[in-house]
Amino acid sequence: MKIFLASFLEPENFGPGKVICVANGSRPHAVKCDSVFPPFIPSNETMKTYNDMSANDPKNASNVFIKSFTDQLEEFRIKVQKAADDAGKPPTDILPFSDGDTLASWEREAFTNYRPLIASCLKRLGFDVVQH
């Protein structure tokens, strides 16, 4: 199953399926989001820590963010894998995604963003990921 990861601001990178929001806060007016997927949104605590640290220590703030969000995604991946194993199904059948869906956040492809961390989690769960 192919899942796309893209910026709200670059709809040309979207797949042909639903658009699923994986971002905190506001949503773009020009893009219709079909749903929100909270497990792939950095926690409020992670975001607060990052924001508090970023002004004075941006490099360390980034490292702390990556560690925290990676841990969050790994806990989720383990739960999904266990549910899939218990159900005798592949993880791709457990999650609410369809072939061609796009998981969208704000940052454009050329800028630092957290979509690569989501891509890694999805790949480990058996998805084919197109990352922008």
pLDDT for 109: 84
DSSP 39: G
Interatomic CA distance for residues 53 and 64, integer angstroms: 9
pLDDT for 92: 96
- Counting residues of the chain whose pLDDT is more than 90, the rounded percentage is 83
The model's pTM is 0.93
- Number of domains the chain is built from: 1
CB 25 within 8 A of CB 113: no
Residues 49-63 as b/e (b if ≥16 CB within 10 A, e otherwise) read: bbeebeeeeeeebee
Instruction: State the pLDDT confidence band at 30, using cuts at 50, 70 and 90.
Output: confident
pLDDT for 5: 97
Range of the domain at 16: 2-131
